Amino acid sequence: MADFNYSVDADGVATICWDLPGKSMNVLSMEGMHELDAHIDTALSDEAVKGVIITSAKRDFAGGMDLNVIAKMKESAGDTPAQGLFDGIMSMHKALRKIERAGMDPKTLKGGKPVIAALPGIALGIGLEIPLACHRIIAADNPKAKIGLPEIMVGIFPGAGGTTRLVRKIGAMAAAPFLLEGKTVSPDKARAAGLIDEVVPADELQARAKAWVLNATDADIVKPWDAKGFKMPGGAPYHPAGFQTFVGAAAMIHGKTNGVYPAAKALLAAVYEGAMLPFDDALRVECRWFVNVLMNPSSAAMIRSLFINKQALEKGAVRPADVPDQSVKKVGVLGAGMMGAGIALVSARAGIEVVLIDQNQEAADKGKAYSAAYMDKGIARKKATAEKKEALLNLITATTDLDALKGCDLIVEAVFEDPDVKAEMTRKVEAVVGEDCIFATNTSTLPITELARASVRAEQFIGIHFFSPVEKMMLVEIIKGRETGDWAVAKALDYVRQIRKTPIVVNDARFFYANRCIIPYINEGIRMVGEGVAPALVEGAARLLGFPVGPLQLVDETSIDLGVKIAKATRAAMGDAYPDSAVDEVVFWMADEGRLGRKANAGFYDYDDKGKRSHLWEGLGEKYPQAADQPGVTEVQHRLMMAQVLEAVRAKEEGVLMDIREGDVGAILGWGFAPWSGGPLSWLDMIGAEKAVEICDGLTEKFGTRFTTPETLRDMAAKGDGFYSRFAA
């Protein structure tokens, strides 16, 4: 079956219609690329054909490239993967360039056939790069359509000419948000920005495309960069204006990415070098930098975690296969505090009926008002309408009446983190809801198996750990208690899919997965402060690793008293084995000083009257004087990194983590673990087990047993393998 269909109408207009069999969205494979190229050959050589429309039979044009193609290019080249990639990508350039030149005489620029891209909806990645090679791009006025080049989000950049063409089309400055931030926009905004040329009524798309093809002149189909005297919009690098742009861009990107994302660097290098070259040479240079990125282990790891495995988990890679669809129709949310209100919002946003319960009506209403405020913000930003707001609010019933929970097929309990309160709610609610209802508890610290004791149907009892703020954080951690059944797991996963978040499923253990890793990261940072390491160095080392926030800022955000609470509970649970007294000394002192974090406008950082973080608190230095001999940044980084990475390894060894993909995806989405690394286990694979063992052994000797090398790592070092070679599904 073909990906593209080719037809020619009575007026001599050929249509190449993209229609991937059996899929709702077009994605480009290498086979597809060959097909498209063959159809272009046919159209250009057929004298009866006057011009070409490239469009889609689906609601959308295309979602992007099948990124597995890249892996195939690498593999098929054996010992010379860079050559394989280079040749493969250059062949795409050649095909797209053929569209762009369309058979015209390269000197006179005459005699070519007009090629137009007609986009019915979404056009992302290669789905925009192909149109950019056409002579004109028109799009249907479909406000839901997203147009753009989001490649940078998964650690690569537009490498099929999109970078080189867009910069020439609209200038480096205007192209920056699309190339460097992966911004995607509606057709109207895409036209305003110059990504596409025209927006037309959806039902006129094909007719307008045809009319353009029949009326296009030779001049209409010459790209500015193929015309004589082309000048780079905004100036090439060594023109006065362009110089400022490029100097500024390098600094800005360097600072914003903390220097850890190879794709952003390579993209900018391709733009810079290409800007001083003729177009075909610029494409070749773009290809060289693109290959450079694809050969970088960071990019491979990012693609694997943020694209392939994230999608796989969202599509149910770990869902019990034999349980039928468990889509939620009516969810009961217990507790209308910050978490409950957020859970109600994301549920209603997914079209699920919500009953939002709290002890008094005022609290329940306040929880619902959170959704109203959210929609108001959307309306102000023209992302929502009053009708949508009303429809969403109509789905939420805010009440104190537990009877309203009747008919719910899922309960998400998000009351105060107290086992007794939770147990009481479990009993009360189970008495009201039907026997099929799944009961989920949203907790970040309490063991699920313990909480399940309050349930009369422990196999239907499960943990769903949301991250705050619920509507922003992409990860949901699903925790299986000892008796939790497949049905409950499927229910939780189907619910997470409905609310369009990314799930991981883990077994029950202290702090589950995410917090198990985050807490040691925070603790290691605090511990260093206690040791006299400069707090700025602790934070700076984390920043250099690409963590969105350093450990001290993180503890300010989550609050010191929460830290104290967790520490006390953990100490009580562990007794003499408790390893973090050195951390507690600092944290308890901070709490005594009233420096409870951002909410108190005073923590490890000082804050101004408006709550804006200003600088590290100088009082820290008085209590914990900075040592004259400061450690190197690498040692600080190793401590911060290994503190959390080793927890991920132990979670795998102990069976808390059942799938390494979840360990990596969960870390990046859950707490922003250095995305460039692909996640903690990918990072270990990247540095190699042997190196990891060496680091851990060194840290253990210097700082103690919390860095003891896990057996798995030692074994991997001995056998020369890694997590993905050993455990990949």
Partner 1 sequence: MTEAYIYDAVRTPRGKGKKDGTLHEVTAVRLSAITLNELAQRNNLSGHAVEDVIWGNVTQVGEQGACLARSAVLYSDLDERIPGVSINRFCASGLEAVNMAANQVKGGAGKAYIAGGVESMSRVPMGMDGGAIAADPHLAMKAYFVPQGISADIIATEYGFSRDDCDAYAVESQKRAAAARAAGRFKGSVYTVRDQNGLAIMDEDEMIRETTMQTLGGLNPSFKAMGEAMPGFDAVALLKYPHLERVNHVHHAGNSSGIADGSAAVLIGNKEFGEENGLKPRARIRATSKVGTDPTIMLTGPVPATERVLEAAGMSFGDIDLFEVNEAFASVVLRFIQAFDADTNKVNVNGGAIAMGHPLGATGAMILGALLDEMERSDKETGLATLCIGSGMGAATIIERV
Read off the DSSP letter of residue 351.
T
CA-CA distance, 546 to 128, in Å (whole number)?
A: 30
The CB-of-125 to partner 1 minimum distance in angstroms stands at: 22
| Residue 241 contacts partner 1 per CB under 8 A | no
Residue 189 phi, psi (nearest 5): -70, -35
CA-CA distance, 403 to 280, in Å (whole number)?
A: 70
CA-CA distance, 317 to 42, in Å (whole number)?
A: 41
Binding mask 535-574 for partner 1 (x = CB under 8 A): -xx-xxx-xx------------------------------
Give the total of residues touching partner 1 (CB under 8 A).
33
The CB-of-537 to partner 1 minimum distance in angstroms stands at: 4
The CB-of-285 to partner 1 minimum distance in angstroms stands at: 12
Binding positions for partner 1, 89-128, rule CB under 8 A? none
694 is catalytic: no
CA-CA distance, 359 to 400, in Å (whole number)?
A: 6
Q: How many CB atoms lie within 10 A of CB 176?
A: 21
- Beta-carbon contacts of residue 520 (< 8 Å; ≥ 6 apart): 643, 644, 646, 647, 706
Q: Among 174, 269, 474, 562, which residue interacts with partner 1 (rule: CB under 8 A)?
A: 269
State the burial class of residue 570 (Cβ atoms within 10 Å of its Cβ: 0-12, 13-18, 19+). Answer: middle
CA-CA distance, 727 to 723, in Å (whole number)?
A: 6
- Identify which of residues 68 and 258 has a Cβ nearer to partner 1 in the complex: 258
The CB-of-182 to partner 1 minimum distance in angstroms stands at: 18
Read off the DSSP letter of residue 425.
H
What are the tokens at 567? 């520490």
Q: How many CB atoms lie within 10 A of CB 19?
A: 15
CA-CA distance, 304 to 677, in Å (whole number)?
A: 10
129, 353, 477, 539: the active-site residue: 129
The CB-of-286 to partner 1 minimum distance in angstroms stands at: 13
- Beta-carbon contacts of residue 631 (< 8 Å; ≥ 6 apart): 533, 537
- Identify which of residues 244 and 559 has a Cβ nearer to partner 1 in the complex: 244
Residue 603 phi, psi (nearest 5): -155, -135
| Residue 256 contacts partner 1 per CB under 8 A | yes
- Identify which of residues 186 and 292 has a Cβ nearer to partner 1 in the complex: 292
| Residue 232 contacts partner 1 per CB under 8 A | no
Q: Among 111, 248, 351, 655, which residue interacts with partner 1 (rule: CB under 8 A)?
A: 248
Binding positions for partner 1, 632-661, rule CB under 8 A? 633
Residue 687 has, within 13 A of its CA and on its CB side, a CA count of: 19
CA-only gyration radius of the chain, Å: 28
The CB-of-634 to partner 1 minimum distance in angstroms stands at: 10
The CB-of-39 to partner 1 minimum distance in angstroms stands at: 38
Binding mask 280-319 for partner 1 (x = CB under 8 A): ----------------------------------------
35, 151, 413, 662: the active-site residue: 151
| Residue 250 contacts partner 1 per CB under 8 A | yes
**Segment near partner 1 (CB under 8 A); pick from 87-95, 242-250, 330-338, 375-383:** 242-250
The amino acid sitting at 448 is I
The CB-of-481 to partner 1 minimum distance in angstroms stands at: 43
Q: How many CB atoms lie within 10 A of CB 46?
A: 13
Binding mask 571-610 for partner 1 (x = CB under 8 A): ----------------------------------------
Residue ranges of the alpha helices (H) in 545-688?
551-558, 560-574, 581-592, 619-623, 633-653, 660-671, 680-687
- Identify which of residues 271 and 357 has a Cβ nearer to partner 1 in the complex: 271
539 is catalytic: no
SS (H, E, C) 88-121: HHHHHHHHHHHHHHCCCCCCCCCCCCCEEEEECC
**Segment near partner 1 (CB under 8 A); pick from 207-215, 247-255, 410-418, 590-598:** 247-255
The CB-of-637 to partner 1 minimum distance in angstroms stands at: 9
CA 440, 441, 444, 446 dihedral sign is negative
- Identify which of residues 96 and 533 has a Cβ nearer to partner 1 in the complex: 533
- Identify which of residues 67 and 269 has a Cβ nearer to partner 1 in the complex: 269
- Identify which of residues 127 and 162 has a Cβ nearer to partner 1 in the complex: 162
Q: Among 616, 641, 657, 692, which residue interacts with partner 1 (rule: CB under 8 A)?
A: 616
The residues of the shown chain that bind partner 1, judged by CB under 8 A, are 237-238, 243, 246-256, 258-259, 265, 268-269, 271-272, 534, 536-537, 539-541, 543-544, 615-616, 630, 633
Which residues participate in catalysis according to the annotation?
A: 129, 151
